[in-house]
Amino acid sequence: MILSCPNCSKKNRLNAAKLTAAVRCGACKTPLTPIARPIEADPALFDEVVAHAVLPVLVDFWASWCGPCRMAAPEVAKTAEHMAGRALVLKVDTEKYPELAARYRVEGIPNFVVLKAGRVVAQHAGVVPAARMKEWLA
């Protein structure tokens, strides 16, 4: 997967299976892991993370026009920050990637799916607080 450095914006290639290891930016040496923010996922990145991540993955299916999705965004960001090193948070834009939403039968957004070892262990439609998302990932 490709991850932009939060400090210098350089793109760094990371192995999705090794996201629990200490990884630094190749240019400025800023720590890239643990990942403490939601990652915008396209189908290739999504499939790589789901197939190789050893951590639980929370997927936020959303769209930019969706008011409840915008309300949920800060809670999703809090979850990513609080669960850094213990879980990954992906955001999937259902307008850009409807095939990913269809794969998980997402009919209403925001919709949250928790995956462990590539399998769905929880799914919920509607806005929830970060505390609830953290419970799903525990």
Q: Which residues carry out catalysis?
A: 66, 69
Is the Cβ–Cβ distance between 79 and 86 less than 8 Å? no
Place of tokens 């590539």: 118
Rounded to the nearest 10 degrees, how much is the dihedral formed by the CA atoms of 27, 47, 127, 76?
-20
How long a stretch of residues is the chain? 138
Sign of CA dihedral 46, 2, 22, 135: negative
DSSP 84: T
Nearest Cα residue to 58 out of 7, 2, 135, 133: 133
Is the Cβ–Cβ distance between 89 and 36 less than 8 Å? no
